[in-house]
Amino acid sequence: MLHFSYNAFCLGALIFLAISLGNFIYVWLCKMWKVKITEFSIFLNPYFSLLKKEINGTIYQLGWLPIGAYIKPLGMLKEDLGSIAIEELPFSLLNKSRTKQLVFRLIPSLVWLFVLLLSLCTLKGPGNILQTTAEMLNYILVAIKTMFGLSAANELVMRTNNMLIDKSIISFALTLLISMFLVLTSLSKIMSIYSRDGKNINWLIKLPGFIITIFGVYLTCWKIPTFVFSFFSFRQNVSYILSFTLGLYLIGSLVFILAMILVKLKTSKLASVTDRR
């Protein structure tokens, strides 16, 4: 019989709260800068959505794949310019200054860094943030060495037990998960640099990009998952994954419901003001 993992559930909930924080910052920036939002999506929706509704020109979607959420502003990419009506150009992101565009694109990384800082603070308190950071960096270095066979697994287990003394296992896991996410995100950013204007780049310059891409996929899809899962039994892994996913789904669904309630309240408020006029 599979057991529910409270820690994995909380970890999934916290991860999606961080994702949702980024989304609501996006909404706030779009409102402040008068940028039109064309899509608001909770969870990804390849092939189909669980719920899809258009309100005031914005498509609200509840997807089924709980690995993220996104806000799509009008004119996010240069390729979109040709399909934007002239009267809507002032409300596109590309019509804003480069500084605003850069801030908009940096929001996810800034949010994850903020959550990482909070999780580090909860491990030993704000006054010991530098010591906690040094300990976590040292621990991650040992984990990397163990993952590639340069250090014994027993040493990592011993360090893990020592690190968890008087510490929250949820904050500890959150710190590791976000650190891994930021590293993989950095790799993907490097990959995207090499993918631009591919025809104009010499093959010698492309080669590092191909190597980084292969290494990134290898880490994401094989090396890291098999390394983490190797420390637990099959039943534990299934329990942790299901509990983590349940946490993602619950918070994601609540965020979507909250967003729809706020949108409907705003719409009814605007309608009542229009009727009075």
Nearest residue to 251 via CA among 5, 18, 3, 4 = 18
What is the pLDDT averaged over residues 66-87? 84
**Mean pLDDT of the residues in the chain:** 86
The pLDDT, as a whole number, for residue 129 is: 87
Q: Using one digit for the tens of pLDDT, what is the confidence trace for 238-268? A: 999 999 999 999 999 999 999 999 888 887 7
Question: pTM here?
Answer: 0.86
Domain coordinates of the chain in residue numbers?
Answer: 6-108+162-276
Query: Looking at the predicted structure, is the pLDDT value of residue 223 above 80?
Result: yes
The pLDDT, as a whole number, for residue 204 is: 61
Residue 196 pLDDT grade (very low, low, confident, very high; cuts 50, 70, 90): low
Q: Using one digit for the tens of pLDDT, what is the confidence trace for 90-141? A: 999 988 998 999 899 889 889 999 999 999 988 877 778 888 899 999 999 9
Which residue is it, tokens 């690190």? 163
Residue 35 pLDDT grade (very low, low, confident, very high; cuts 50, 70, 90): very high
